[in-house]
Amino acid sequence: MVFERMPLEDWFDKYQYEVDWDIGESGMKFLSLNDLGFELGDVDLRYGYHLGAPELREIISKQYRGRTAENVAVTTGASEANFSIIAHLVGKDDHIVVEHPTYPSLYQVPRSLERDMSLLHLTWEDDFKPNMDELEKLIKPNTKLVTLTHPNNPTGSQIDENSLMRAIQLAEENDFHLMVDETYRDLTFKDPPPLAATLSKNAISITSMSKVYGLPGIRIGWAVADRPIIEGIRAVREQMTICNSQLGEAVALRVLQERDEILRKMRNIMLENYEILKKWMDNQQWLEWKEPEGGVVAAPRLKQGGPTRELCKLLVDKYRTFVVPGYGLEMDEYFRLGYGGEKEELIKGLENLGKALEELYS
């Protein structure tokens, strides 16, 4: 078993602090405690409940029709939910199917654990939507888990309700679990399909407060699932983190108590920024894309083809501008743009991107 670094995170770790214009980040602009105006002096810095504070689990469960606080495990980011569920459900003789591209840990964890894994490839031709006939072909008698991510990071594609229902039907018929990473679900342009965990005992929803709320520093995410899965997560995490940061939980609870208002603000920023990005894309000559349907990420590619590493490195070195090269997402010919940040930063970053494209390709 070998845990290797993920190229995406290596890129972030090297360059995210070395730039002035970040148009590669995958979430909304980061918030500070001052932005939120929370006073946290009364937070007890003891160990927390291993599945998250009851009040926090309760408020989360309200979003999931038919589920209660007992079905919620609050975790150290969606990353820990993802790791714990894979570690719990997929044993050494089992098989897992992972949609690709996606946030890399979803396939890197099974690789590190040396599990038998098949990739369900999203293609340009299919508008990066998962093809359920392809999924059906990949299922084996020992498949224990299938993971999907929608809206998808990095393509911004959104699974439609029929496909989601078909995936759930396959899960029920073939006795595997379907885990849907719904991290970007609150930032779709149109109404998204229902939350997976509300649809079936075989479905698991995971999500994060990192992206939609601009709060990756609190390291809070969660999973909603049937009790045996929640117990599995508890067993795994007791050997990793034990519980969440109590400061993180306190911030999460207060944010969720004001969820509707915060979400409304975030959605307005996203829609305004998206207009800027779309206009820019419509008026430039080097790139093509499939328009995202949600999330705050998109994955353009060069019209002339070829890898994007040189472009991304030039942007960092000369223009102090951050985007994510496709090699970090195992899609060399693309790169990731993020449009959740400050409007001025997006405008300036896109201007720099235009200059770098002209320098390399005109």
By Cβ distance, which residue is nearest to ligand PLP? 77
Q: Which is nearer to ligand PLP, 149 or 357 (CB)?
A: 149
Residue 188 lies near ligand PLP (rule: CB under 6 A)? no
What is the total count of residues that contact ligand PLP (CB under 6 A)? Answer: 13
Q: Which CB sits closer to ligand PLP, 153 or 357?
A: 153
**Residue 26 interacts with ligand PLP (CB under 6 A)?**
yes
**Least distance to ligand PLP, CB of residue 210, Å:** 3
**Nearest distance from C-beta of residue 158 to ligand PLP, angstroms:** 13
Query: Tokens 């084996």 belong to which residue?
Result: 140
Out of 11, 103, 213, 327, the residue judged to bind ligand PLP by CB under 6 A: 103
Per-residue binding string, ligand PLP, 197-236, x by CB under 6 A, is -----------x-x-----x----x---------------
Instruction: Answer yes or no: are the C-beta atoms of 233 and 75 closer than 8 Å.
Output: yes
Query: H helices within the chain, ranges in order?
Result: 7-15, 33-36, 54-61, 77-89, 105-112, 132-138, 161-174, 227-237, 246-257, 259-282, 309-319, 343-361
- Give the Cβ contact number of residue 187 at 10 Å: 26
Please tell me whether residue 183 binds ligand PLP under the rule CB under 6 A.
Answer: yes
At residue 196, the 3 state secondary structure works out as: helix
Nearer to ligand PLP, 218 or 356 (CB): 218
Give me the count of residues in the chain: 362
**Number of C-beta neighbours around residue 264 at 10 A:** 9
Please name which of 107, 131, 123, 184 lies closest in space to residue 331, comparing C-alpha atoms. 123
Q: Does 78 bind ligand PLP (CB under 6 A)?
A: yes
Q: Name the amino acid, one letter, at 15.
A: Y
Contact between 180 and ligand PLP by CB under 6 A: the answer reads: no
Stretch that binds ligand PLP, among 54-62, 74-82, 111-119, 264-272 (CB under 6 A): 74-82
CA–CA dist 319, 298 (Å, integer): 21
* Cβ-based neighbours of 231, under 8 Å, separated by 6 or more: none
CB 21 within 8 A of CB 352: yes
Of the pair 263, 314, the CB lying nearest ligand PLP is at: 263
Binding of residue 157 to ligand PLP (CB under 6 A): no
Determine if 149 is a binding residue for ligand PLP (CB under 6 A): yes
User: Interface with ligand PLP includes 298 (CB under 6 A)?
Assistant: no
Spatial distance between the Cα atoms of 66 and 2, rounded to a whole number of angstroms: 40
Interface with ligand PLP includes 341 (CB under 6 A)?
no
Footprint on this chain of ligand PLP (rule: CB under 6 A): 26, 77-79, 103, 149, 153, 181, 183, 208, 210, 216, 221
